[in-house]
Amino acid sequence: MDPYRYRPSSAYNTPYMTNNQGGPVFNNTSSMTIGSRGPVLLEDYHLVEKIANFHRERIPERIVHARGAGAKGYFEVTHDITHLTCADFLRGVGVQTPLIARFSTVIHEKGSPETLPDPRGFAVKMYTREGNFDMVGNNMPVFFVRDAMQFPDVIHAMKPNPKSNVQEWWRIMDYLSYIPESTHMFFWWLDDWGVPTDYRHMDGYTVHTFKLINKEGKETLIKWHWRPTCGLKFLLEDEAAKVVAKCHSHATKDLYDTIASGSFPEWRLYIQTMNPSDEDKYDFDPMDTTCIWPEELFPLQPVGRMVLNKNLDNFFSENEMLAFSPGVVPPGITYSNDKMLQCRIFAYGDTQRHRLGPNYLLLPANAPKNAHHNNHHEGFMNFLHRDEEVNYWPSRFDSLRMSERFPISKAHVSGIREKTVIPKENNFIQPGNRYRTWDHDRQERFIGRMVTALSDPRLTHEIRAIWISYMSQCDKTLGQKLASRLSTRATM
């Protein structure tokens, strides 16, 4: 018997029941007792193992993106962008790369309805020949804050009250009244956009600015965009109420049933590009996560398509234990100076090490599919079989060597050490422009939702006045309508 032949897998199931040690179980219905009605014996190893395993079935819930659904498929290159990047998975038209995707709600807990107004997570893990590539984003192209120092606070404000355990508008509007750049996000979150019909009918954006690097070392600033081929659809309040009355997991069910029926969801991937030498030419900061790059200035360029053609084999192992990080990029793709991105490069891996353990990258869903080798050893739940005697580098007893060099960013960085805001805040122009593209009914729905948020009885006159001021700076007519509905005047 080769003791290392069989890795843990249901493919090697025995026809009879065993415990976790592989020992046979002849009775899985009765505990070992003294007599038929006597006390239970602690020596019943199978009972203790079964109950202890049950107690630990749940791992810590994600702080954000707890409620999620996923599927597997592939990415196919449809347009040549090798002049922009040396990334291997983009090396030519027709190249396909296997992937796994996870869609989620952001704020609400794991068992919450999928009809609540909330940003949706849109994360894709590509298993490339040069290691994994995680494209981590949302269905909205902007975020509430632009500096990661504020991230725990905005999430705390949007999560339930720690005393009542109820999400409350007064907390959200109170905190964000101090954050004028959050205004833009409201024009996505409280728009019809806030409740997609399901995961198949929503966009995906990585929000952050990244860089592509080609084989000559030339750098290009980019933003990634996913667009569903079946179009965008949203649920209005009355529609959402009908849907959730029938199924609070409607989006998860829709994704699973659609793939099971053979109708495979598809998204097209586009990029927007900018020359790094041009980043100071505009009235917004290209690294600012509260601003978009206007498509009339930076048109979408097609790259490829994602097809989801296989449901998950197991929800826990391929969804709950699936872990992403925007820091996971292959050669040819790298980071910008985006403040939020710089922190998330650390934060996502750190939270997974807390949730899943230091060896979470050994889990099948997270492990790269290309051959890999390093001297990271041991730690909790390390199930990788290793028989090397040398676990250091360099060594004359080990042939391990460095990989071939690939182009990296050589952008010059200079400045004084300081804690400060970016020079170009531009908090109100883009949300105002977005508001004016809507028809009258859509504008009225947005105003109604803002009125609901600002009508919380615990909100003060001062906070309402601040929000009317923000909205007035986005669009004067919008501010006037909001003030009229709330009988409040703006505080400029």
Structure tokens at 360: 């979470």
Calpha distance 344→325 (Å, rounded): 7
Give the three-class secondary structure for 138: strand
Report the DSSP beta bridge partners of residue 124: 101, 135
Query: 270: part of which helix (H) or strand (E)?
Result: strand 266-274
* H-run or E-run covering 421: none
Fold of domain 68-362: Catalase HpII,  Chain A, domain 1 (2.40.180)
Amino acid at the residue 480: Q
Buried b (16+ CB within 10 A) or exposed e, 235-270: beeeebeebbeeebebbbebbbebbeeeeebbbbbb
Phi, psi angles (nearest 5°) of residue 397: -100, 5
The four Cα atoms 233, 238, 239, 245 give a dihedral, to 10 degrees, of: 140
C-alpha to C-alpha distance for 114 and 130, rounded to whole angstroms? 35
Out of 65, 208, 225, 250, which one is annotated catalytic?
Answer: 65
- Residue 312 to residue 294: CA distance in whole angstroms: 36
Distances (CA, A) of 130 to 331, 370, 487: 7, 7, 59
Q: What is the per-residue pLDDT for 7?
A: 58
Q: Which residues of the chain have pLDDT under 50?
A: 1
What Cα–Cα distance (Å) separates residue 144 from each residue in 162, 184, 355? 21, 8, 25
Rounded distance, CA 337 to CA 327, Å? 13
- The active-site residue, picked from 46, 108, 132, 138, is 138
Residue 357 CA to its chain's centroid (Å): 19
Q: What is the pLDDT, as a whole number, of residue 408?
A: 87
**8 Å CB contact between 297 and 282:** yes
Cross-strand pairs, 205: 138, 225
Q: Is 74 annotated as a binding residue?
A: no
Scanning 221-333, the segments in alpha helix (DSSP H) are 237-246, 250-260, 315
Looking at residue 341, its amino acid is L
Q: Enumerate helices (H) and strands (E) in the chain, giving the number of each.
A: 12, 10
- CA 441 to the chain's CA centroid: 31
Sketch the domain layout of the chain as residue ranges: 68-362, 438-490
Helix (H, G, I), strand (E, B) or coil at 7: coil
What's the confidence (pLDDT) of residue 292? 98
Cis peptide bond prior to 394, omega within 30° of 0: yes
DSSP symbol at 346: H
DSSP string, 162-186: TTT----HHHHHHHHTT-GGGHHHH
Distances (CA, A) of 188 to 46, 287, 387, 395, 431: 53, 19, 53, 55, 9
HSE-CB for 16 with a 13 A CA cutoff: 7
* Residue 65 appears among annotated catalytic residues: yes
